[in-house]
Amino acid sequence: MSSPHILILGAPGAGKGTQSANIVDEFGVEHVTTGDALRSNKEMDISDMEFEYDTPGEYMDAGDLVPDAVVNAIVEEALSTADGYVLDGYPRNLEQAEELADMTDLDLVLYLDVDRSELLDRLTGRRVCEDCGANYHVKYNQPETEGVCDECGGELVQREDDTEEAAENRLDVFEENTLPVVEYYEDTDEFVAVDGEQTPDEVWTDVRAAIEAATE
């Protein structure tokens, strides 16, 4: 079996990171995220594109959004060197979905389908250790002592982008920009929707079955 080309889609809080890690472990593919791809190509020479800056890193250091054309080029580079991948966090809009179609052939488009109220529960309940970055949840993954990290004893805090207002905003952005991407793939043979409200193990059972069916 050749290494699969997988796109994973889902709102913030749907569990893409957890399932991507499972896919990497089970199928030996690379986890390609826009954030990682940008960080590992910070010094890429984009001076020929005639943008404000000559490298992606300069945009990141200035806190500015990296232009779509630069993100597209970086994702294309990452996919071209990967022997199988799970792509996570791209495409974020229809223009990028059309770019991706020119870059690569997908074996499977996975969509982790989770209701908005459940997503809000997951996002606003998340707590992160200030010292070591370990993740917890007030409902689903509680530490042994409330507010204290099991790993290192650090204080658990709510990240700024996990407050209710920020979480609502992140979901609004997803629904406006990325939900049309889900609809773009929905009518294709490669599309599989998975019930993301199951337990992580149950979701993984469905995800693995979908990958095996797509790569037979």
Q: Which residues are annotated as catalytic?
A: 16, 92, 126, 159, 170
CA distance 7 to 85: 8
**Helical segments of the chain, H only:** 16-27, 34-40, 56-62, 68-80, 94-103, 116-124, 164-173, 179-186, 200-214
Instruction: Please tell me the predicted confidence (pLDDT) of residue 31.
Output: 94
- pLDDT exceeds 60 at position 84: yes
CA distance 198 to 200: 6
CA–CA distance from 67 to each of 32, 51, 53 (Å)?
18, 8, 10
- 34 belongs to an annotated ligand binding site: yes
- 42 belongs to an annotated ligand binding site: no
- pLDDT exceeds 80 at position 2: no
CA distance 109 to 76: 17
**What percent of the chain lies above the pLDDT cut of 70?**
99
- 214 belongs to an annotated ligand binding site: no
Residue ranges per domain, the chain? 5-115+178-215
Least confident of 34-43, 118-127, 186-195: 34-43
216 Cβ partners below 8 Å, 6+ apart? 1
CA distance 154 to 161: 20
H or E stretch including 109? Answer: strand 108-113
Name the average pLDDT for the chain.
Answer: 93
Instruction: Please tell me the predicted confidence (pLDDT) of residue 196.
Output: 97
Structure tokens at 89: 């966090």
- 96 belongs to an annotated ligand binding site: yes
- pLDDT exceeds 70 at position 1: no
Select the more confidently predicted residue: 161 or 202: 202
How does pLDDT run across 128-168, given as a tens digit for each residue? 999 998 989 999 899 999 999 999 999 999 988 899 999 99
Q: Is 135 helix (H, G, I), strand (E, B) or coil?
A: strand
- pLDDT exceeds 60 at position 20: yes
How does pLDDT run across 35-48, given as a tens digit for each residue? 888 888 889 898 89
Average pLDDT over residues 86-115: 95
- 17 belongs to an annotated ligand binding site: yes
Domain 5-115+178-215 has CATH 3.40.50.300: yes
How does pLDDT run across 157-190, given as a tens digit for each residue? 998 889 999 999 999 999 999 999 999 999 999 9
